[in-house]
Amino acid sequence: MASLRLPAQLVTRGTLNHHNSSSSAAPSVSLSWRRSLTPDNSFPNLPSSSPLNRKPSTVVPVTCSAAAVNLAPGTPVRPTSILVVGATGTLGRQIVRRALDEGYDVRCLVRPRPAPADFLRDWGATVVNADLSKPETIPATLVGVHTVIDCATGRPEEPIKTVDWEGKVALIQCAKAMGIQKYVFYSIHNCDKHPEVPLMEIKYCTEKFLQESGLNHITIRLCGFMQGLIGQYAVPILEEKSVWGTDAPTRVAYMDTQDIARLTLIALRNEKVNGKLLTFAGPRAWTTQEVITLCERLAGQDANVTTVPVSVLRVTRQLTRFFQWTNDVADRLAFTEVLSSDTVFSVPMTETNSLLGVDQKDLVTLEKYLQDYFSNILKKLKDLKAQSKQSDIYF
């Protein structure tokens, strides 16, 4: 077993002034994203309430252990060799499938799990087990890899900081130490404008950490996934269950993850994109009520809508902050601040489409995506009903 110690220069030190530029009178909050991986993992320049200032439950070692690999110095790595982190997720699996279709050698980093990700192997990918919360498991997965595509995010039951901050910093450091040629990171649109939301704050800090790491990289900010609307609205409406909504005016330009995967791989091959910050958005921004109305029309039935006022979510967040064991719930409810700010999660794609050579008409609209879903599912339900009637005749 060989020991890989991250070079001292990778323990990056720096400060990031993270504040709302629209208010010139507001004092600048200096956010230190220094990563020492020592028992004292605090960020002294942040307010004590910041999610990045919470003490970790365990100490993350700076020394990573990996199996010895006999590679001669200067051994070339194929540009088609990529590692997809978070390969079993909504976006990750689409990246894997698209990359395989385009002839890439795809390696998938997944956590050890009782139910193995056999579908990735069936597609033709190689699966390796590692955990971003355990940095010592990362280096071995990077051997022979040219490009890392980072789609990972923490599970709902995990503290946001564990994977999305500590894990990502460890991954970036290891990628730099092992000579990864390109790193693709997915962030959230407008994350720089909402430091009060822990996950958005962490995404913005990770963007800056990656930028200062010296890695050749592409940062892609996303607005929302169309796929997430199926479980949230389409399925409950079909099953005549309650659909939860809010009275928020926030609008989101949802995008099909297959389009995101396609545009990502186009960007990967375009040298003009290196080092750039791109934002991917769907053709139109939608409010929650507009999405529900669209689903009702396509399903041919009314939804049982339970509307939760944003003010109630805000009070709930304040209450959960009183208890240590509900702090992570409070972090996720922090998105209520975004919902109440009349934010539009959308950007014009004209410049990005021109840079990537993409035609806007080739991007799937939400109407088309949901229409295809409801057409397919309603046809299957009709076929099942017909089969059931035939069985009644025979029996």
User: What tens digit of pLDDT does each residue of 221-268 get?
Assistant: 999 999 999 998 999 999 999 887 666 778 899 999 999 999 999 999
pLDDT digits (tens, 9 = 90+) for 55-103: 333 333 333 333 333 344 556 889 999 999 999 999 999 999 999 999 9
Residue 37 above 80 pLDDT? no
Q: How far is CA 185 from the centre of its chain?
A: 9
pLDDT of res. 36? 34
Mean pLDDT of the chain: 77
Residue 183 above 90 pLDDT? yes
pLDDT digits (tens, 9 = 90+) for 274-293: 999 999 999 999 988 899 99
CA angle 28, 34, 40 (to 5 degrees): 110
pLDDT of res. 117? 82
Would you say 146 and 80 are in contact if contact means Cβ atoms under 8 Å apart? Answer: yes
Where do the structural domains in the chain lie, given as residue ranges? 75-222, 227-254+282-346+364-394
**227-254+282-346+364-394 placed in CATH 3.90.25:** yes
pLDDT digits (tens, 9 = 90+) for 371-383: 999 999 988 877 7
Lowest pLDDT segment from 155-164, 354-363, 368-377: 155-164
Those residues with Cβ within 8 angstroms of residue 288's Cβ, 6 or more apart along the chain or in another chain: 245, 246, 248, 250
More reliable by pLDDT, 94 or 156: 94
pLDDT of res. 347? 94
pLDDT of res. 310? 52
Cα 59 from Cα 43, distance rounded (Å):
15
Q: Give residue 27's pLDDT band: very low, low, confident or very high (50, 70, 90).
A: very low
CATH of segment(s) 75-222: 3.40.50.720
**Strand-pair partners of 106:** 82
Would you say 204 and 191 are in contact if contact means Cβ atoms under 8 Å apart? Answer: yes
**Strand-pair partners of 149:** 84, 184
